[in-house]
Amino acid sequence: MGKDLFQDHEKRKFDRDQLLYYVRVNYHKTNILAGYLADISTEGLMLFSKDSVKKDVLGSFQINLDEEFGMDEKLVFEARCVWCRPDANPEYFITGFEFSGLDQAGIDTVKYLIQKYGFAQ
């Protein structure tokens, strides 16, 4: 486990910031839980979830910022699965997503969330 995990981090094209606590990420159309946000950057994010996701699958997601951060809005975005593998806990998967067409308002929201609630690695 250890060597592969570190190799994935070395292969990243960009740095991500880890949030100090897990944030719910829902499927946009149904508002059903997709997973919990583990880390994030302006280019992508990583989710912990009960479901595996096939590589290259595009999904539509939302983070209810009012519930999670007291902001009166939702961050709605599309993201493509870049990788997925079992977590150390065999009941869960960790999945890396790359944002697909995140607009400037979305990028600004992600930057704000990282600045206010996250920390640099």
Total structural domains within the chain? 1
Q: Which pLDDT value is given to residue 95?
A: 97
pTM above 0.85, yes or no: no
- Whole-angstrom distance, CA of residue 19 vs CA of residue 32: 21
Q: Which pLDDT value is given to residue 73?
A: 80
Q: What is the pLDDT of residues 64-97, one digit of tens each?
A: 887 656 677 889 999 999 999 999 988 999 999 9
Range of the domain at 89: 2-119
Give me the CATH number covering residue 29.
2.40.10.220
Q: Which pLDDT value is given to residue 56?
A: 97
CB–CB of 69/22 below 8 Å?
no
CB–CB of 56/80 below 8 Å?
yes
Q: What is the pLDDT of residues 9-43, one digit of tens each?
A: 444 444 444 444 568 899 999 999 999 988 889 99
- Cα-Cα-Cα-Cα dihedral of 10, 117, 27, 8, to 10°? 10
